[in-house]
Amino acid sequence: MKLYWVKTHRLIKKLFSGFVWDIPGKAKTVYLTFDDGPIPEATPWVLGILKEHNIKATFFCIGDNIQKHPDTFGQVIADGHTIGNHTFNHLNGWNTDKEAYIANFENCEKAIQEKYGNTAKLFRPPYGKIKSAQAKLLRHRGYKIIMWDVLSADFDQTITPQQCLQNVTNNVADGSIVIFHDSIKASANLKYVLPEAIKYLRKNNYEFGVIT
């Protein structure tokens, strides 16, 4: 049973206007984002595809993966991509009290600082689930909470790679933030959809922006 939306409805964006769902204002520009890495089984392949096409993206990293795979994280940084915080243990904010959630966020922030020497001011809540009190604290610290306009659903092993591609091509628009996942679970779909989505976007004269 599908429990996610591929295209974020404008009503959701209006109701939760404190979150960044897309980046309007620049025609024919999309923003590629990757969640759940860095891991050596997926992230270097993604980096290779992006380098081949001269694209910069945003990687929302799990702190535990940063600590486990510092060389892979270093490769993301060396290639000039933007880093975002995705909590230390991929926590569901709806199921986590405020103090525990913020502490987990801080552990990821620390991992980024130790390996990168910089604090990411971009945060994406795992599963897109975050309580208003949690979000308020993060915004108070200067963080932008980055959601999405288009979900590729590459993590969904019940859909085909072709369906995954259609999720992107049928829904992308000017200013869309698109989510992919550099994870083992998503790899089968990702290895098909990412090159094909880039090919489609380039054919349709899209440029690739970076979230700041």
User: Catalytic residue at 35?
Assistant: yes
Cβ contact 182:39 at 8 Å: yes
90 is catalytic: no
Q: Report the interhelical angle of 161-169 vs 187-203 (nearest 10°).
A: 40
Catalytic residue from among 69, 81, 86, 181 = 181
Nearest alpha carbon to residue 43 among 92, 89, 81, 6: 81
How many helical (H) and strand (E) elements, i.e. helices and strands, does the chain have?
8, 8
The active-site residue, picked from 22, 35, 149, 182, is 35
3-state helix, strand, coil in the chain (%, to 5): 45, 15, 40
Q: How many CA atoms lie within 13 A of 127 on its CB side?
A: 12
Residue 162, CA distances (Å) to 50, 73, 115, 176, 195 in order: 20, 29, 37, 20, 12
Angle CA 49–123–198, to nearest 5: 20
**Catalytic annotation, residues:** 35, 181
